[in-house]
């Protein structure tokens, strides 16, 4: 499974992507609001192997996709079923060197279209650390709505943190900011 946007290619990870993915996750700021610490040279191979294993989305397995610009992997998208009928959760991380260029919005928007149009999911959600304002803004830009704010519900990296849940239905895609005459460009 592979598809493109105007500037990006979204595809399963390849073994040659290790260094690029390490560059994304070997950054304290990138990992600040994630559930894991930054990657190290000692654990990068083991953590990257999990990305390679996640090559198809099923009820039992998650999918990890590389986001590639014209020359490098600049992002990582993750999708998994939540256990609720036809509902998936998405996660995303992007290289700090590429922030502010609209790549995350472009990639996640196309991922959402793919999930609704091809996979035929009913609902997409994203759960994030409430302090992650950039991620909140991304969810809003692609047409997701804030559905819940949980106070100090998650113990993360030595402190209680708030969680926010964003969600969307296919109607939000059809009626929202993602409306487009362009269809997905699937390879």
Contact 79, 115 (CB under 8 A): yes
- Report domain extents, the chain: 3-186
- Whether the predicted model's global pTM rises above the 0.85 cut: yes
pLDDT value, residue 1: 77
pLDDT in tens, 112-138: 999 999 999 999 999 999 999 999 999
Residue 6 dihedral angles phi and psi, to the nearest 5°? -60, -40
User: Is CATH 3.30.1450.10 what the domain over 3-186 is classified as, yes or no?
Assistant: no
Q: How many CB atoms lie within 10 A of CB 34?
A: 16
Calpha distance 178→1 (Å, rounded): 21
In the DSSP assignment, the letter for residue 117 is I
Q: How many CB atoms lie within 10 A of CB 66?
A: 22
pLDDT in tens, 162-185: 999 999 999 987 665 444 434 455
pLDDT value, residue 76: 95
Q: How many CB atoms lie within 10 A of CB 113?
A: 20
């Amino acid at each position: 499974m592979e598809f493109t946007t105007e500037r990006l290619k979204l595809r399963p990870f390849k073994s040659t992507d290790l260094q690029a993915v390490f560059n994304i996750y070997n950054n304290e700021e990138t990992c600040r609001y994630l559930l894991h610490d930054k990657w190290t040279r000692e654990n990068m191979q083991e953590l990257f192997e999990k990305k390679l294993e996640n090559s198809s989305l099923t009820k039992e397995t998650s999918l990890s996709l590389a986001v590639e610009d014209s020359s490098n992997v600049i992002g990582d998208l993750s999708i998994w079923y939540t256990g609720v009928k036809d509902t998936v959760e998405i996660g995303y991380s992007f290289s700090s060197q590429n922030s502010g260029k609209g790549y995350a919005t472009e990639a996640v928007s196309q991922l959402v279209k793919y999930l609704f149009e091809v996979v035929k999911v009913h609902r997409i959600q994203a759960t994030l650390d409430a302090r992650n304002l950039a991620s909140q803004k991304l969810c809003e830009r692609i047409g997701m709505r804030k559905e819940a704010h949980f106070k100090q519900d998650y113990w993360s990296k030595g402190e209680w943190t708030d969680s926010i849940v964003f969600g969307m239905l296919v109607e939000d895609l059809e009626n929202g900011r993602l409306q487009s005459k362009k269809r997905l460009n699937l390879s």
